[in-house]
Each structure stands twice: as C-alpha cells, then as structure tokens.
Structure 1
C-alpha cells in the first residue's frame, strides 16, 4: 500500500502475535512464502496509463518508486503503527533522520521550540543548527517539572521535544501532564521513544502527538542495520509525510527487511534485556566503588513511581557513577573483557562508554555540569549475555579503579 504504514483495523491478537504476522496476511502474493521477499528495486512499472496515474498520485495499491513506497516498508510500518497505537508510521534511513523530519515538519522561521536538556546528542545538535539557520529560538529545560515547561511557553512556541527516559541520567517526564498542557496551548509534542520501545511505553495513548524511534536500537536488535520510524495519528502525520517526501530519507529495502527480521523477536529479547539489566543494576548499586545508579526500574530512583505510572516495563540502558578519581576511569574501561566500549546500544551485545568522552570536543565544562555529566559517569547497555558473566566482568573492572 502506498500510504506507508497505515494501521490495520484493531486486531484480536496480542501485540506479540501482531509483531509476527500483522501486515503479512496477503502472503499468497509472494507464493505463500513464510518470510516476505526483499523487493530490491528502485522503481515499479505500471501495466497501463491509468495505473501509472494512480501510482504517481499514491492511489490504490500501485507503487512507483521505492523512495515513495515499497512493500517491505509497508509490512514493517503496519506493525510499528499497531504497536504504538497510531494511525500510521513512516520508515526513515536512521533515527536521527526520523527526529529531524518530525521537527522540521512543525518548525517555522521565527518560531520557538522547547526541548529537554538531556536529549540524545545529535537531536540537541540539530536544534542548535536550526537556531542558526532558521532564526529559531530553542529553550532547554530539565523536563522534570511541568511548571517549568509552562513558565517558558511563548506565544510563538510551536514544538516541545521530549525523550523519556532521557539520555545520560535517564530522568522521565510526566507525559500525561505535558501532553495536556501542550494540547491546551496548541503546541505539538514529539518524543523519542527508542529507550522504552513500544512494548514498554505508548506515548500516543498518554496524549503525545508524534513518536520517533531509532530502529537501529532495540527494534532491530542485532547491531547490523540503521533505520528510524515516525508514528502519529493522521492529522499530525500530514506535514510529516510532506517533509519526508521532500527530504527523501528512505532506507534500502534490504535494511527494512533486516529490521523486520529483528522486530519479530522484540518481545522475547526485551524480557531478557530487562531481567539482565535489573540484576546488573542491583549489583552496581550495592558495589562500594559505585556512587549512584541512574535507572528508573530501581525503587531508589527519584522518579520511580512516575516511571511505573506511564511505563509497563524498563529496558536495559542506564548509567552509573563511579566513586573514583578522573584519572582512574581508564583502568575501569580497560579492565572490561566481555563488555565492549562503543557508542550505540540496543543490540544483543553489552556495551558501555564514558559519556563525557563520547561527546567529543565542543562542549564546555559548564555545559557538562548543567547536564549532570561528569568524568565518572558511565552509560551501560546490558545485552543478552548470561547475567553472571556480566557481573563478573564488571566486578573485575571495578577492582582496577
């Protein structure tokens, strides 16, 4: 279907079943293959003049050009739209492109955007770029208090950009209260839901307008492809579709096929990720070399009750602070054997990084302090390895500090 990712009528099946089968009901078109084929083509031809007119105008089930639509995209987007409870979804070439398209769809020159301070780094950088290029004003807030948000709303505020749980310290925002405030003020809300996944948090049901995902992370789950999603109801999706079409940020069909392959195991993977993460977080919280663990699943987390009220589960990404001098941090990271050092997360493998170093150059100490990022802050993604092996690896590295 050309109208990418339109959600099917409400299914009678559980979401785990829909992940496996929704959007694939007409597999007789593919000789009843269990796995849909890869439509590795740049264009589609039409049998008649009339069919070509339909294809160009995105009418009916005619395809014209993969940048505008492809069966691999549609199968995948129907599943994601259903998971998030939105009318439709769009597939993009990366999570960064998904967020950029969603922001550009609503940002206008001379306007005002409010964003939480601890956003994913490239999203924050993109907002700074828009300040320079489009004469936009961006106000960064903690996001912890809806009154803080209400105080900075201006007559020209167009958009609020959220990420809950947020990067770095994993604070959560009260999505219900923020959504109600923004709806009443005519402001569009956009959230990065990559951390929670649609299994553990459904922002559209809490009143948020637009949901963005990096499919590179948990949705694909195998660290072998890059992609992104935008999900919304029809009214909010129209400007996003126009922006998406103009930018041309569609992945290759093979990338969509890889994401689909990974998505099929999302429920079982997330259960294991969550189980492992809680074991590791409890171990770290009790370790004498660890000062603090920032993980909403822990009862010690300051916003634990709020997180539970809007999330049905917790993923395996969190951070912790070591009780160590800055010059001893290198010994911790070099002492790891099983857990690798790297930037990304959401795959099968456990991976960590020193958050401050991960930013590279260009940030001042004052900016790091404002975001709560110190030399001792470590971000950890807990993978699917045996939890005991991960505990042993961390314990061995912590003894080096």
Structure 2
C-alpha cells in the first residue's frame, strides 16, 4: 500500500511476513534461492515470474529498501548499490554510449568530477559544466549528442540550490534525461521527481543511514531507465549487500524525526556563524542571505543538515580552527548523528586543481559542517571556542 505521507511509507512499507509472523523484517543472508522444479527455474530466469534468483540480482532486503525509497521519492522503480558512487557510475554507464554528452552542474562531489573528467572520456563521453548560479543558461550548452542533464541540489560542499523546474523544462524541451543527486536533502526534504526529474540518486551512506555504520547507494525513477540500470548492475555486480539493505531500511523508519532535528540544529548553527566576528560568510539553504533562498523554500521542506562557511584569516586560521575543534569530529563523512567538520580543499575535493576548486567556490578557508543531533548549545560552544582560537 502507498500511503500519503513520507513518514508512513518509510515505516509501513515492508515485506510480507513469513510463517513466524515477525514484526521486524528478518535478514535474508543468502547468496541464492532454490526452485521448486525445472519449469520454475526456467520461468524464473526467463523473468516470467517475479521472484528472487540470486542476491546480485535481487534479495528480499534490498527489494524492501528500494521499495521504500521509491514510495518516498514518488518513483516507479529503483536499484540499490553497494555505495553512492557505484550508483552514480552505474547509472551513467548503463544509459550512455560512446560519443554521448553530459551537461552537468560544476558543483559536484569530487569523485563524480573525477568520473566525468578522467574515466568517462575513456569511452568518448564528454561533459560540459555550468555554474550553479547559471542554471538558466543550461539550454545554451545542449549539443546534438547531449543525453543527460545532471546536478546535485543542494550542492556539495557549497550548498548551492538549483531550480529543478528550470532544469526539468530544458530536459523536456530537448528530450534529455534529468538526473538529480538528492543526497543532501534526502527523500524526506525534497522529491525531485515531483519537479520533473527522471532519475534520483542517493548516497545512502549519509543521512539515510544516519549513524556512520554502512555504505550504500540507490537510483530510483522511470521504470524504463531503471530497467537498463538493473541489467547493467545485474551483469557487473555493484549490488548492495542484504545486511546493509536491512540496516538502511530500518534507518528510513527514523529518517524524518532525525532530519527534523538535523535541520533545526543546522539553522541555529548557521545563524550563529553568520553573526560571528571570525567568519567571513555562511551558506545554508534556509538562511535568508542564501542566494537561492526562495528556490530552496519552494523545493525543500527544510534546509538540511549542511552548513558551509569561511573562517577569517585564510589557510593558517582555518588550520588553527580545525586543530582547536574539541567535541565535533574531523571526518570526511556527513549525515551522521555526530557533528562533523570537514575541510573540503584538503579532503573530499583535494584531487581538484586549485583553479577548479575556486571555480566552484571552494576556497582554502571553506569549512563544511554536517550538523549532528547533539544538544545545539554544545555544538555552538565547540565551534565558538575553535573560532576564537583561530
């Protein structure tokens, strides 16, 4: 059954109970499944039956997790991957051919940028970038061989917000596939398919898990496109493990309440930093000073857990700030219960040239905070003392 509200679908979408009538879904730690007879086996491999054959293809746990995300996102179908980057790579590898062209926002995760600039060109697939603030200019970048428009929103790490309706119109007008990385927002805060996206990708490692435990990724959207992605993944093997799917499916049941607290804390942190004398600037989608504040309010239920800001004093001040952090964690992850402070120029985006980093606003002093679930007073106290020591 598909319920009206995201919260209910996250909790009440589940597998049929076994004869044991368990309330919590069990783990299905099996590599393969047996058949009743030769005809059952033949029909299953011919896909005349919708059933599990091998856990690289489907598994009850991965199927449940996928179904939950599909209902939350309003998608027709999906496939769950071992990691977020496995989802990104497999989606492009399944849908693109040699000679195809991608139009992408320049503000993307560092590994996605490497995929576009180092690996896809091996198969004669090229990418043209546009700046987040220039989404209205995307149509001018379309070529005869363009196949996909791709963007993250909010972006990593600068939390820029792209207008999904503008991107969707360009995609429709030119018969292109619009793919949106929805990792920062989660299916709870934003559903890009409602605004015209064809596919939505998540790194489930982040807020969907929410506790820094397991890796995972997922792509959901149009059934015809997911079919191609499924066939690619079935033959190349980047499937999510049943155990991780079981963990992530349970995590979705608390996603709305967790994200509500993340957003509440993050907005308080952003407001505090905006008024701090040792900070040059702050960006959070629900700060009124954010350049795309109105777009964020239209597309998102709340502003998310990520805050980007720049410490006054350049590289040396930034180093002192990071070394002065006490309670918060220094890590490259995000979306954890624990507040995480990251320096993108030396970690997540360190493989980019300085010119490429500056082009997307990643200065040497840029700090990304993934605001956690601790008491916000404790988060603010730690950031304040670290800034004063910088």
How does the TM-score come out when normalised to structure 1? 0.94
Equivalenced residue count is 390
Between the aligned partners of 1:306 and 1:389, the Cα distance in structure 2 is 31
Which one of 211, 214, 227 corresponds to residue 216 of structure 2? 227
For residues 22-68 of structure 1, give each alpha carbon's deviation from its aligned partner in whole angstroms, at most 9, with x where no partner exists: 133x21x2511111111101011112112112322333343211111
Counterpart mapping for 1:18-37 below 5 A: 18-24=9-15, 26-27=16-17, 29-37=18-26
Alignment match, 1:120: 109
Structure 2 residue aligned with 1:382? 371
Aligned equivalents of 1:145 and 1:365: distance in 2? 21
| 1:3 corresponds to | none
Partner Cα separation in structure 1 for residue 318 and residue 77 of structure 2: 45
Paired position in structure 2 for 1:343: 332
- Alignment correspondent of 2:248: 259
Question: TM-score, normalization: structure 2?
Answer: 0.97
Quick one: distance in 2 between partners of 1:146 and 1:357? 28
1:218 and 2:207 aligned: yes
2:238 to 234, 249, 252: 249
Q: Using the TM superposition, name which of 363-372 and 218-227 deviates more.
A: 363-372
SS where residue 151 of structure 1 aligns? helix
Aligned to 1:195, the other structure's residue is in SS state coil
The Cα shift of 1:128 comes to 1.2
| Runs of 4+ deviating beyond 6 Å | none
- Evaluate the alpha carbon distance shift between residue 30 and residue 277 of structure 1 in structure 2; reply closer, same or farther with a 3 A threshold: farther
CA contact (8 A) 1:102 1:190 kept: no
Q: Deviations over 1:122-181 (max 9, x none)?
A: 111111134431112211111323332111111111111110011122111111111111
The 5 Å alignment of 1:58-207 reads 58-207=47-196
Residue pair 2:110, 2:351 contacting (<8 A) in 1 also: no
Name the residue aligned to 1:5: none
Deviations 1:277-307 (A, max 9, x none): 1111111110000111111110111110011
User: Does the Cα contact within 8 Å between 1:54 and 1:62 map onto a contact in 2?
Assistant: no
Question: Where do 5+ consecutive residues of structure 2 fail to align?
Answer: none
- 1: CA distance, partners of 2:63 / 2:115: 28
Contact 1:144 1:174 (C-alpha < 8 Å) held by counterparts = no
Deviation (angstroms), 1:120: 0.9
Match of 2:38 among 27, 49, 53: 49
Match of 2:8?
Answer: 17
Aligned residues: CA RMSD: 1.4
Once residues 90 and 111 of structure 2 are traced to their aligned partners in structure 1, the CA distance between those partners, rounded to angstroms, is 13
Deviation string 1:288-333 (CA, Å, 9 cap, x unpaired) is 0011111111011111001111112221112101111321222111
In the alignment, is residue 353 of structure 1 matched against residue 342 of structure 2?
yes
Q: Residue 396 of structure 1: which of 339, 362, 385 is its match?
A: 385
Distance 1:361 1:229 in 2: 25
- Unaligned runs of 5+ residues in structure 1 are 1-7
